Amino acid sequence: MFFEDGKLIGIINKEVKRQVFHVVLGTVLVALLYFDVLSFFGNLLLPLAPLPASARPLLVALIVGSILILLSRKCRRIPIMYWFLKEFGREEEIRAFPGKGSFFYILGAFVVVWLFERSIALSALMILALGDPVSHLIGVRMGRVRHPFSKTKFVEGQIAGTIVGALGAMIFVLPIKAFVAAAVAMFVGGIDVGLGTSKILDDNLIIPVTAGAVLFLTSPI
């Protein structure tokens, strides 16, 4: 029983670290976008690419990440990446799709930066960076009412994620728009599409794209 309790505590601590990393990665991406660092490197990396300059470094990161994921399936002890997988990866994902969360996180950032104007992209990334981890942690620890279309997500987490995500998005858009975008993104991101690691899409992609679409549709023409 002690071993099982210790193992459970280890899993919980790892999940907390994973969500903290989620917040850090998202806020760093927002800062890089806000201060035009992504645009600067985009113009250096791929000056002729038919993409917004700020999206180009994210495309490069996706290509490099895809190569590392493929290599890690052949050799699981790739330096640095192996450490990240051990510290932040879920065991089932490491076996099926190493680095899945980070890959879809960068993919989600790439899509919103590519498709939407600056304030929308920044707001969508803030909802992902703050709302998603809060939703997960509150749902796991305090959740009682299940999301109507999910076996693992809880309404309490969705509400907490909506509030915190909206507060972050309010930095860049009007409060009512931030709240509506966060609420819809949290709800849609909580829907199970497939089961477990076989989910067709990851909420790190669904949440920012949904939030960006809502903000775009509610923007004046």
pLDDT tens, residue by residue, 84-133: 777 666 666 666 677 788 899 999 999 999 999 999 999 999 999 999 99
At a CB cut-off of 8 Å and minimum separation 6, what does 65 contact? Answer: 99, 102, 103, 106
Per-residue pLDDT at 200: 58
Domain residue ranges in the chain: 2-217
pLDDT at 8 over 60: no
Q: What is the pLDDT of residues 170-218, one digit of tens each?
A: 999 999 999 999 999 999 999 987 544 445 578 999 999 999 999 999 9
As a whole number of angstroms, the distance between CA 112 and CA 93 comes to 25
Greater pLDDT, 169 or 5: 169
Average pLDDT over the chain, rounded to an integer? 86
Q: How many helices (H) and strands (E) does the chain have?
A: 11, 0
For residues 167 and 124, what is the distance between their CA atoms, to the nearest angstrom? Answer: 12
Q: What is the mean pLDDT of residues 21-48?
A: 92
Q: Which pTM was predicted?
A: 0.87
- Report which of residues 11 and 141 the model is more confident about: 141
Quote the pLDDT of residue 198.
Answer: 44
